Amino acid sequence: MSTHKPGEAPPRHFLTGSELSASELSRLLARASELKRSRRQRGRGDGALVGRSVALVFERPSTRTRVSFELAAVELGAHPVVLRGDELQLARGESIRDTALVLSRYVDLIAVRTARHAALDELARWSSVPVVNLLSDDYHPCQALADLLTLYERFGELAGLPVAWVGDGNNVAHSLMLAGAVAGLDLRVATPAELAPAAAVVETSRSLLPPGGRLLITTDPQVAVTGARAVYTDVWVSMGREDDAERRRQLLAPYRVDEELLAAAADDAVALHCLPAHPDEEISASVLYGPRSAVWDQAENRLHAQKALLELLIEGV
């Protein structure tokens, strides 16, 4: 059951990274680049969403997502309503369904950072406005948009671009696989067998690949990195995985992104990391802060990619 009125198009949600078509993704990245240039040249405002409002719900700590999404709304002219999880009646037992039905009457988009992805699916089921995943245990699609924008800026053409993911097959990897498949990347994912990406995500990602796109799943970081134009990693112990920290560090030790591993990549390869980082654990400090790092561009690009996403979901442009 949905809650949109008869004759109205259902809302567009962004929950995993697979929701955009190839043409929509291409337009979004081009628009994000335009918004980035205009912010630097003519000031910070755009006004495309004047009179609109967005609810930003954070059940988990956040730095980049909180700041970039709030600024994205403000700079487009929308009003952000920022809420912690304990500020909602959800914390006292109100249902997700009721929360969706109420918030949909107030705002033009609901964005949530939470642990359980099923809660986002339930929210989207009952919401009559777009729902955006700001991070869940299973996916991090807004990060994937920033990743693709960073690669687009550096290399231009994404189709066939060799990109290596090295480390844990986690939520960030899942959304990179899905959005990267839509973009047509040559994506190589190297993880320990025990921390491989979910089989269902691998299957869905492969179904999204256009001709020339590729998704390789391997346990060998050298195989993934050889000839890659970008080498991407993430923390070894994500939020909610602290009880398994020591096992993860042992499994992931061979997957550290350092100068030795990066030497197998293309001469113009860049290093990527979604942050927060633990220098000299999953990535060497010299790579993270060195000349081949595109990490800080990635972090900035959260703002610009999310602006374009807000325009697309709210205004349909």
The residues annotated with a catalytic role in the active site are 113, 140, 143, 234, 274, 302
Burial class from Cβ neighbours inside 10 Å (0-12, 13-18, 19+) for residue 261 reads: buried
**Residue that is written with structure tokens 């991090």 in the block:** 140
Residue 260 makes CB contacts below 8 A (sequence gap 6+) with none
Q: Which of 146, 108, 117, 105 is nearest to 297 (CA)?
A: 146
Query: Cα 10 from chain centroid?
Result: 23
Q: Which of 73, 143, 89, 84 is nearest to 112 (CA)?
A: 84
Reduce the DSSP state of residue 163 to 3 states and report it.
strand
210: preceding bond cis by omega (within 30 degrees): no
Two structure tokens written together for 240: 């909610």
Residue 150 makes CB contacts below 8 A (sequence gap 6+) with 270, 272, 294, 297, 298, 301
Q: Are 113 and 134 spatial neighbours (Cβ–Cβ below 8 Å)?
A: yes
**Cross-strand pairs, 131:** 110
**Residue that is written with structure tokens 């994506």 in the block:** 187
DSSP secondary structure, 202-246, as one string: HHHHHHHPPTT-EEEEES-HHHHHTT-SEEEE--SS-TT-GGGHH
